[in-house]
């Protein structure tokens, strides 16, 4: 029996001709539960987490899973049970963490557009920290907390003006984008925060982007943040914790991001050298904890050969896997069952792999060499992050089901969305008034 591990996916492998997630045969899951179907490996999530834990071992550090990457309750439960905190960006995410058994005290609330209602909800729950992204938000948060006779714990997200050289839509630490406060304004805004009655300043935060595959932007950002920490503390405002955000990339297509423990060894060496090694640390990884812990199984519906292009039409679409349409992102696509004999590339056909949605942007992979027939199952890889959490009902397609694999067991963590689920809450106008 061969065991051929998929690149970047240590817990997904071919045994013989069949693709497995841990010890579960994926073709059987597709057959039984239908497609499109997301399958996640618990061991893959925990081993991604373990790399951060190793890197931060012996430090006073808190890992807050940035749950927008994948906010399904069954996924949150894995991280809550592993002791993680959570980085949230909405009141909905707060409710999900609490429903999945996460602790309010370990929650940090990021995002540029928190509403007063969300602030009240988070204060009432007793979250650990608000990562405030503008001066205007500081004023509002202070007044909301004061009205509740509370002081909101805050850190301010500073913008280190570092280019992480990723896609412009996922780069967040540059001057021209909407996140954080400018480096030059940080001291003045900290002074303002310290003067507001409803706030308790406890930290500083930065997050420079996503799918970062190099250590240099992190090291540069850390230097910029530590410069600010020195300035802010010299002005009499102690910062109990330093939050360095998330953003570490994963291997989608021969990407070679540093391992989390390797990255943190370098960052901790810098922290130690600058005298901040004993400080309480927080990080907010999202994609790197879940991205390569999931695949999306899909069935080939039709092959449509053409003069210029061949299309492989699958039953997963941009509403399930939005990253290609949004950012021209790459997902590897592999067969769930390998042919009996190895097929040379010359015997494969090149296809654009597309979904059924009525948009030309609805493609999942361009120019892929495949040997497939209608009815075959394919696995779209690296589908654990920013897929299901971004899924929509566009074209009135129900959202996919999700399964969490744990060794030879599996758990359905989300049922396929029914048409009734989709229409729930919609109201026809009474005919007598129409």
Ligand X SMILES: *Cc1c(COP(=O)(O)O)cnc(C)c1O
Q: Which of 286, 372, 259, 334 is nearest to 6 (CA)?
A: 334
Question: Does residue 118 interact with ligand X by CB under 6 A?
Answer: no
CA gap 214, 379 in Å, rounded: 28
- Among 106, 287, 397, 399, which residue interacts with ligand X (rule: CB under 6 A)? 287
Question: Does residue 69 interact with ligand X by CB under 6 A?
Answer: yes
User: With respect to ligand X, which residue has the nearer C-beta, 14 or 130?
Assistant: 130
User: With respect to ligand X, which residue has the nearer C-beta, 217 or 246?
Assistant: 246
Task: Give, as ranges, the residues between 162 and 221 that touch ligand X (CB under 6 A).
Answer: 207, 210
Question: Does residue 68 interact with ligand X by CB under 6 A?
Answer: yes
User: With respect to ligand X, which residue has the nearer C-beta, 198 or 249?
Assistant: 249
CA gap 297, 353 in Å, rounded: 13
Task: Just list the catalytic residues.
Answer: 358
Task: Give burial (CB, 10 Å; 0-12/13-18/19+) of 156.
Answer: buried
Question: Does residue 286 interact with ligand X by CB under 6 A?
Answer: yes
- Among 46, 66, 141, 357, which residue interacts with ligand X (rule: CB under 6 A)? 66
Minimum gap (Å) between residue 102 Cβ and ligand X = 16
Task: Give, as ranges, the residues between 351 and 370 that touch ligand X (CB under 6 A).
Answer: none
DSSP letters spanning 267-334: HHHHHHHTT-TTSEEEE---HHHHGGGEEEEEEEEEEE--SS--EEEES--TTT--HHHHH-----EE
User: With respect to ligand X, which residue has the nearer C-beta, 248 or 378?
Assistant: 248
Q: Which residue is nearest to ligand X (CB)?
A: 286
Task: Give, as ranges, the residues between 213 and 252 that touch ligand X (CB under 6 A).
Answer: 245-248
H runs (alpha helix) in 196-256: 216-234
- Six token digits for residue 85: 């905190």
Q: What are phi and psi for residue 271, nearest 5 degrees?
A: -60, -45
- Among 171, 288, 298, 389, which residue interacts with ligand X (rule: CB under 6 A)? 288
CA gap 200, 222 in Å, rounded: 23
Stretch that binds ligand X, among 42-50, 61-69, 269-277, 390-398 (CB under 6 A): 61-69
User: With respect to ligand X, which residue has the nearer C-beta, 9 or 68?
Assistant: 68
CA gap 67, 88 in Å, rounded: 6
Stretch that binds ligand X, among 42-50, 97-105, 285-293, 296-304 (CB under 6 A): 285-293
Quick one: which H or E segment has residue 44?
A: helix 42-55
Residues that bind ligand X (CB under 6 A): 66, 68-69, 87, 110, 207, 210, 245-248, 284-288
């Amino acid at each position: 029996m061969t065991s051929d591990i998929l690149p970047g996916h240590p817990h997904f492998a071919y045994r013989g001709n069949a693709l497995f997630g841990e010890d579960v045969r994926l073709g059987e899951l597709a057959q039984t539960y239908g497609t499109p179907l997301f399958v996640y490996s618990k061991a893959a999530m925990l081993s991604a987490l373990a790399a951060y834990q190793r890197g931060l071992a012996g430090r006073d550090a808190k890992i807050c899973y940035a749950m927008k990457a994948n906010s399904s309750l069954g996924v949150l439960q894995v991280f809550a049970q592993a002791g993680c905190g959570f980085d949230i960006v909405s009141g909905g995410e707060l409710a999900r963490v609490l429903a999945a058994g996460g602790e309010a005290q370990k929650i940090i609330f990021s995002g540029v557009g928190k509403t007063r209602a969300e602030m009240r909800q988070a204060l009432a729950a007793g979250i650990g920290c608000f990562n405030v992204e503008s001066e205007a938000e500081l004023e509002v948060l202070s007044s909301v907390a004061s009205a509740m006779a509370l002081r909101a714990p805050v850190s301010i997200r500073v913008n280190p003006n570092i280019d992480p050289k990723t896609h412009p839509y996922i780069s967040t630490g540059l001057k021209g984008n909407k996140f954080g406060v400018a480096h030059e304004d940080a001291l003045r805004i900290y002074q303002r925060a310290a003067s507001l009655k409803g706030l308790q300043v406890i930290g500083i935060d930065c997050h420079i982007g996503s799918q970062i595959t190099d250590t240099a932007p992190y090291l540069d950002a850390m230097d910029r943040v530590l410069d600010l920490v020195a300035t802010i503390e010299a002005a009499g405002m102690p910062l109990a914790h330093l939050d360095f955000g998330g953003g570490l990339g994963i291997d989608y297509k021969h990407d070679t991001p540093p391992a989390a423990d390797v990255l943190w060894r370098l960052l901790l060496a810098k922290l130690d050298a600058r005298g901040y090694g004993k400080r309480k640390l927080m990080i907010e990884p999202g994609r790197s904890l879940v991205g390569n812990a999931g695949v999306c199984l899909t069935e080939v519906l039709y092959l449509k050969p053409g003069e210029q292009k061949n299309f492989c039409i699958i039953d997963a679409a941009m509403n399930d896997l939005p990253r290609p349409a949004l950012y021209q992102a790459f997902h590897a696509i592999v067969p769930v069952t390998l042919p009996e004999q190895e097929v040379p590339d010359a015997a494969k056909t090149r296809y654009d792999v597309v979904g059924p949605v009525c948009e030309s942007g609805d493609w999942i992979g361009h120019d892929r060499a495949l040997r497939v027939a209608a009815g075959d199952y394919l696995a779209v890889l690296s589908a654990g992050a920013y897929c299901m959490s971004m899924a929509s009902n566009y074209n009135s397609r129900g959202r996919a089901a999700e399964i969490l694999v744990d060794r030879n067991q599996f758990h359905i963590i989300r049922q396929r969305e029914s048409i009734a689920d989709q229409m729930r809450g919609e109201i026809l106008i009474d005919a007598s008034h129409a």
